[in-house]
């Protein structure tokens, strides 16, 4: 029922499930700027390991945004200054000093379309997520990968992580390392490690780094033979 009533734009604009954000009795810089962050020294097992700030360690909850980021999708916005487009990968902000702002959408703007480029339409892709229970739950960590291999060499790749940051985390370091590299387990391992070297885990969520690594390697190693063309 929820799925039938929802929209693609609404999915991108959903806000964090941080329990301190939802509890009006708790301090939260996102809900009330300047009030503090209850999660930083509190319960933060589900929170960010990449790109967080002293003001906020929340994660973005969307699965779909992660897949759209890996596929180079664009958000079309319409507002007082006309129409403009932003890559989904750059649509959400990192928290920085202003965690109350989730995206780069401007006052008065509406999402009028989400566009998938033809260039990634035929590229083999997969999404995998880890969650706390078998039924519906938000990702502890997830990964979306689009991968094309020709003659054993990676010639197109998009990788994005979910559950790790305030926005879908496009893994540019991984992608740069893989483009032109052999589609082999060693190359995948080195490229994923390059990205996750930027992680800054908190007291109780270091497990997310190895979880994300294992998810990414699993998906890359499964996709490589499926996508290979001679």
Interface with ligand SF4 by CB under 6 A: which range of 12-20, 82-90, 109-117, 198-206?
A: 12-20
Q: Which of 31/170 has CB closer to ligand SF4?
A: 31
∠ CA 26-137-199, nearest 5°, is: 70
The Cα–Cα gap between 88 and 73 comes to 6
**Span 83-142, contacts to ligand SF4 by CB under 6 A:** 99
The binding track of 15-54 with respect to ligand SF4, each residue x by CB under 6 A or -, is: -x-x-xx------xxx------xxx-------x-------
For the bound state, the minimum distance from the C-beta of residue 214 to ligand SF4, rounded and expressed in Å, comes to 25
Contact pick of 2, 9, 56, 170 for ligand SF4 (by CB under 6 A): 56
Contact pick of 58, 89, 149, 211 for ligand SF4 (by CB under 6 A): 58
The Cα–Cα gap between 44 and 37 comes to 11
The Cα–Cα gap between 211 and 142 comes to 9
Interface with ligand SF4 by CB under 6 A: which range of 56-64, 86-94, 104-112, 142-150?
A: 56-64
Q: Which of 27/182 has CB closer to ligand SF4?
A: 27
Q: Which of 158/201 has CB closer to ligand SF4?
A: 201
For the bound state, the minimum distance from the C-beta of residue 119 to ligand SF4, rounded and expressed in Å, comes to 35
Q: Which of 28/212 has CB closer to ligand SF4?
A: 28
CA distances from 223 to 95, 191, 200 (A): 33, 15, 28
Q: Which of 21/127 has CB closer to ligand SF4?
A: 21
**Span 138-177, contacts to ligand SF4 by CB under 6 A:** none
For the bound state, the minimum distance from the C-beta of residue 25 to ligand SF4, rounded and expressed in Å, comes to 12
**Residues lying near ligand SF4 in the complex (CB under 6 A):** 16, 18, 20-21, 28-30, 37-39, 47, 56-58, 99
């Amino acid at each position: 029922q929820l799925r039938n009533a929802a929209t693609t734009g609404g999915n991108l604009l959903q806000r964090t499930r941080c329990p301190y954000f939802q509890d009006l009795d708790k301090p939260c810089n996102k809900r009330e700027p300047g009030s503090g962050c209850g999660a930083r020294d509190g319960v933060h097992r589900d929170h960010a390991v990449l790109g967080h700030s002293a003001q906020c360690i929340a994660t973005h909850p969307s699965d779909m945004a992660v897949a759209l980021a890996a596929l180079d999708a664009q958000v079309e916005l319409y507002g007082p200054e006309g129409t403009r487009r932003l890559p989904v990968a750059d649509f959400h902000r990192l928290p920085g000093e202003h965690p109350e702002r989730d995206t780069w959408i401007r006052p008065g703007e509406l999402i009028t379309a989400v566009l998938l480029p033809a260039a990634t339409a035929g590229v083999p892709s997969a999404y995998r997520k880890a969650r706390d229970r078998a039924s519906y739950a938000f990702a502890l960590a997830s990964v979306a990968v689009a991968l094309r291999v020709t003659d054993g060499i990676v010639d197109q790749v998009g990788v994005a992580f979910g559950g790790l940051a305030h926005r879908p985390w496009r893994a540019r370091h991984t992608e740069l390392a893989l483009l032109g590299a052999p589609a082999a387990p060693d190359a995948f391992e080195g490229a994923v490690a390059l990205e996750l070297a930027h992680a800054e885990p908190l007291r109780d969520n270091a497990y997310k780094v190895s979880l994300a690594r294992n998810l990414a390697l699993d998906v890359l190693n499964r996709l490589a033979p499926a996508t290979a063309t001679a």
